[in-house]
Amino acid sequence: MSLNPKLKDWRGKRVWIIGAGHGIGAALVNELHSLGAELILSGRTLSALQAVEDGKTGVSVLPMDAREPAAWQACYAALSQQNKILDAVIFSLGDYTPMRTWQLTPAEVDQVISTNLSAVLYGITTVTPDFIKNKQGSLILLASVAGWGGMPNSLVYGATKAAIQNLAQTLYLDLKPQGIGVYLVNPGFVKTRLTAKNQFTMPALISPETDAKEICLGLSQGKFEIHFPKKFTVILRIITLLPNAIYFWLMKRTTGL
């Protein structure tokens, strides 16, 4: 039984991707474009969005800083003027700096929480009133396996991803009866500029292109939670369900931190 509508046919579907200029978001642009979707690409860096757009038909760019509620309102007003329903929003923005507790600063707290959590909530408040009115729409939220359990170096980042996982469940409970799909994506390690900051060898590292295909596969199956690569995520999931003493021991042993 699928918990969500199966998103199989993307032809003519209008999808707004936040964080489309790099990494997973950029790979999703290419994948969804090949499946026939009409795409709106957002992010802060116009040149990066234009490089991904690269003359593709049915693809447009709409730069914004998603940490600003006013930017959401202005961009959504511009999209609404086109008199075409928005079918889905993909929240693929994110920020991450690996650090230990004693390295944390208030500025880092604000930066990561505003990007990974507040921006997503602002987006949801912007688009859901029309989704509810139209009794259709899909919210696709990028969290991470880092939200499943505390890990060294994932300070703030992991906490925001756990918050996104919690948020997705609440959204599902509120919005499923309104005809809206809520999809939670928890990838393992993906080779992007975000993970380029990691100093360790990342297990089961995948490319953004593989990541985008896995996301589209999960969406086509109507899953609520989409996690991959399974050879890594299934083991990690089991580890996070173990008693705390064993979990802490395993984390320390595997990370050496």
For residue 193, give both structure tokens: 């500029």
Interface stretch with ligand NAP, choices 29-37, 165-173, 185-193, 237-245 (CB under 6 A): 185-193
* Type of residue at 140: I
> Smallest gap, in angstroms, from Cβ of residue 208 to ligand NAP?
6
CA distances from 116 to 80, 165, 238 (A): 25, 12, 25
> Smallest gap, in angstroms, from Cβ of residue 179 to ligand NAP?
26
Q: Give the nearer residue to ligand NAP in terms of CB position, either 44 or 136.
A: 44
How far apart CA 171 and CA 176 sit, in angstroms, is: 8
- Encode 104-120 in three state secondary structure: CCHHHHHHHHHHHHHHH
How far apart CA 53 and CA 57 sit, in angstroms, is: 9
> Smallest gap, in angstroms, from Cβ of residue 11 to ligand NAP?
25
How far apart CA 74 and CA 67 sit, in angstroms, is: 13
How far apart CA 226 and CA 124 sit, in angstroms, is: 20
> Smallest gap, in angstroms, from Cβ of residue 37 to ligand NAP?
18
User: Of 7, 14, 17, 22, which lies in the binding site for ligand NAP, with binding defined by CB under 6 A?
Assistant: 22
User: Of 7, 23, 165, 216, which lies in the binding site for ligand NAP, with binding defined by CB under 6 A?
Assistant: 23
66 binds ligand NAP (CB under 6 A): yes
Give the interface with ligand NAP as residue ranges (CB under 6 A).
Answer: 18-19, 21-25, 43-45, 48, 65-67, 92-95, 115, 119, 142, 144, 187, 189-190, 192-195
